[in-house]
Chains A and B, each alone.
Chain A
Amino acid sequence: MSRSQTKAGWVFIGPASALIGLFFFVPVVAGLLLSFTDFDIYGIAAPETVRWIGLRNYVQLVQNPLFWTALKNTLVFVLAGGPLSVAVSLGAALLPNAPQARLRGLFRTVYFTPVVTTIVAVALVWRYLYHPRYGLLNHALGLVGIGPIDWLGDPNWAMPAIILLAIWKNFGYNMLIFLAGLQSIPEELYEAARLDGAGALQRFRHVTAPGLRSTFVFIAIITMLGYFQLFAEPYVMTQGGPLRATTSLVLLMYEEGFRWWRLGMASAVAVLLLLIMSVGTMIQLRLQRGRAR
């Protein structure tokens, strides 16, 4: 019986393993190797001319100011957009979770809707909402006396504009996970806190916050990993401008690889992105572990 299961097991996992192995793991390893070569547009025509160049792509990258700009932009997006987005999610989860809230199911659906929408289409919608003259946002701000902002045309405002879009698009996802975390906190704990005379804020600090710790770790990490992959928003809204203010690492990789066909260089960008994301994950895990102690 066990022998038949061995055969069946491999047959059942065969298609998935073959597909994922050939079209994911092999390319990932190849990407690492590719980053040590001078593969470019000539390499596509004649692969035999491609040479090993060691770390030259990496050396050229760290000497390229555009790489540092893209890294800075990506880090701003991750470090400002990520926490803001998590904060909005937590707020959005606490509201329908309040005992007085009505129509919870409806609002949960409404808040979640932007998550399922197509990023290209909503980036296009927001491009018009951000229009300095005809955009709804500036019009609304004008009503309260805030002068017109050139959201996507001003290098200082373009990244905040993209962060705002990203928060709107993504907060529903983390909200849902927070909601599940909130519901797993036993009601008795709140009762006990209330009997001890704890106010709403104290209940949040001493019951809700500790109860959400593991949820929070998970959310912090997946949000960070997701935000590091910023691409479609700047591609559609700003093409990385103005003055490169919204060029992200993935956009840089795309341009190097598929506009200029410098695939070796583009792979180096991708490998550095992977390294930075791994370091980010390790820092998060260490921070959380330190706090738990």
Chain B
Amino acid sequence: MKRLGGSVLINLALAAGGLLTLTPLLWMLSASLMPAGEANSLPPPLLPSRLELGNYAALFSRLSLARNLLNSVAISLAVTLSSVLINSMAGYAFAKLRFRGREPVFRLLLTALLIPAQVGMLPLFLLLKGMGLVNSYAGVMIPGLAGVFGIFLVRQYVAALPDELLDAARVDGAGEWRIFRLIVLPIIRPILVTLAVFSFLGCWNDFLWPLIILSDSGKYTLPVALAGLSGEHVQDTELMMAGSVVTILPVLLVFLFLQRAYLRGILAGSVKG
């Protein structure tokens, strides 16, 4: 009997925790479908009286958020592609190629994990200003093109591969680039997916850097545009919630579909790090 009671209690707590966790997101979705002004009524409604899709239409017509959505998609995809290619090359070399300077360079890179990005942000802004990249897409993307965490992730994964595989290909006369492209890349696909999800989510959700480097609202990423609009549209709860849904939905979908790959990355970073 005591067993049963405990089991019920634990499952109830689990369910209650789950409901609490989802409430803000469910309310966001619900409020985004309410007719204008309904969210600000008493008692606060949980569900819309009728489904109003006009908030979403207004985002794209009146607030021209389509442009910002497109910016976010393009920037995040480009950063993801670059980060997967560049970090996997480096991660592979740090794990499997023997060359002078490998260890010191890797150790130096690792220190970057301990330094908050904010320390370099102001000079980076000035540097990019000198290069004419302030208020440009390239400027937003630059900090994400390569990353120490990504290199570390790939290196850990590649290190577990048997050396014989690569040596056999070398004996057959394959060049290093060929070996990497035709043998290594296909084998390490799982960690590449992990890296891609990390890069995409990180880039999509980033706020401080795009806020600093972009000044033209047509170039804003979705979070920066949303933060900007939230000031002048404080009263338009339903509209702003529709904007939040559009901002969150893409990352949520990526996470739900590629959950396994994403969680593997977090665990690899924690257990072995």
Mask, A174-217, CB within 8 Å of B = 1, is 00110010000000000000000000000000000000000100
Complex CA gap A232/B212 in Å reads: 12
Please, how many angstroms separate the alpha-carbon atoms of A222 and B114 in the complex? 10
Contact with A along B141-164 (1 / 0, CB 8 A): 011011110010000000000000
In the assembly, what is the distance between CA of A176 and CA of B255, in Å?
15
The tally of residues in B whose CB lies under 8 Å from a CB in A reads: 101
Query: Taking the complex as formed, is B118 at the interface, i.e. its CB lies under 8 A from any CB of chain A?
Result: yes
When the two chains form their complex, are residues B18 and A27 in contact, meaning their CB atoms are under 8 A apart?
no
Q: Which of A8, A19, A112, A168 contacts B93 (CB 8 A)?
A: A8
The winner among A16, A135, A273 for most chain B CB atoms within 10 A is A16
Bound-state Cα–Cα, A228 to B208, Å: 14
Q: Cβ of A122: which chain B residues have Cβ within 8 Å of it?
A: 24-25, 28, 244, 248
The listed residue (B13, B146, B252, B263) touching A16 by CB distance below 8 A is: B146
Indicate whether A13 sits within 8 Å of B105 (C-beta atoms), given known contacts A24-B112, A136-B27: yes
Whether A72 is near chain B, meaning CB under 8 Å from some CB there, is no
Interface contact tally, CB-CB below 8 A:
286
Contact A120 B227 (CB under 8 A): yes
Q: In the complex the two chains form, what is the Cα distance from A30 to B129 in whole Å?
A: 15
* Distance of A109 Cα from B211 Cα, bound (Å): 30
Interface string of B68-85 (1 = CB under 8 A from A): 000000000000000000
Q: Is the CB of B21 within 8 A of A114?
A: yes
> B164 → chain A, closest Cβ, in Å?
15
CB–CB B122/A31 < 8 A: yes
Interchain CB contact under 8 A, B176 and A5: yes
Given the interface pairs A111-B17, A116-B201, A273-B118, the reply to whether A128 lies near B237 with Cβ below 8 Å is yes
Q: Which listed segment binds B: A52-60, A63-71, A94-102, A153-161?
A: A94-102
Q: In the bound complex, do residue A17 and residue B120 qualify as a contact, i.e. CB atoms below 8 Å apart?
A: no
A270 at interface, CB cutoff 8 A: yes
**Partner of A133 from B42, B115, B124, B241 at Cβ < 8 Å:** B42
The digit string for A124-151, where 1 denotes a CB below 8 A from any CB of B, is 1111110101111001000000000000
What's the nearest-Cβ distance from chain B to residue A87, in Å? 14
Given contacts A118-B223, A124-B244, A229-B118, are A101 and B25 in contact (CB under 8 A)? no
A222 CA / B267 CA spacing, docked (Å): 13
Binding site for A on B (CB under 8 A): 3, 6-7, 10-11, 13-14, 17-18, 21-25, 27-28, 31, 39-44, 86-87, 89-90, 92-94, 97-102, 105, 108-109, 112, 114-127, 129, 142-143, 145-148, 151, 170, 175-177, 180, 201, 204-205, 207-208, 211-212, 222-224, 226-227, 230, 237, 240-241, 243-245, 247-248, 251-252, 254-256, 259, 262-263, 266-267, 270-271, 273
Say yes or no: A102 contacts B11, CB within 8 Å. Answer: yes
Give the nearest-CB partner of B247 in chain A: A121
Decide yes or no whether A119 CB sits under 8 A from chain B: yes
**Minimum-distance CB pairs A-B, first 7:** A27-B120, A9-B99, A12-B93, A30-B123, A8-B176, A16-B90, A100-B7
- Knowing A120-B207, A128-B241, the reply to whether A27 touches B121 (Cβ < 8 A) is yes
- The distance in angstroms between the C-alpha atoms of A173 and B72, with both chains bound, is 24
Which residue of A is nearest B208, CB measured? A231
CB distance from A4 to the nearest CB of B (A): 7
B195 smallest CB distance to A (angstroms): 12
Chain A residues near B118 (CB-CB < 8 A) = 229, 250, 253, 270, 273
A292 CB contacts on chain B under 8 angstroms = none
Q: Confirm or deny: A258 has a beta carbon within 8 angstroms of a beta carbon on chain B.
A: yes
Query: Which residues of chain B come closer than 8 Å to A260, judged between CB atoms?
Result: none
CB distance from A166 to the nearest CB of B (A): 13
**Complex Cα–Cα for A117 and B244 (A):** 10
Contacting pair B223 A121 (CB below 8 A): yes
Task: Using CB atoms, name the residue of chain A closest to B126.
Answer: A263
Give the distance to chain A from B59, nearest Cβ to Cβ, in Å: 13
Residues on A with beta carbons closer than 8 Å to the beta carbon of B148:
20
Q: How far is the CA of A164 from the CA of B16 in the complex (A)?
A: 17
- Which residues of chain B come closer than 8 Å to A102, judged between CB atoms? 11, 14
Question: Hey, which chain A residues are within 8 Å of B41, CB to CB?
Answer: 134
Closest B residue to A32 by beta carbon equals B119
- Separation of A132 and B240 alpha carbons in the complex (Å): 18
List, sorted by A's number, 13 A–B pairs whose CB atoms are closer than 8 Å. Answer: A2-B98, A4-B176, A9-B98, A10-B99, A13-B102, A30-B123, A44-B126, A96-B14, A111-B18, A116-B251, A177-B267, A250-B118, A270-B118
In chain A, what residue has the closest Cβ to B106? A13
* Contact present for B126 and A95 (CB under 8 Å): no
Question: Does A113 lie within 8 Å of B22, measured CB to CB?
Answer: yes
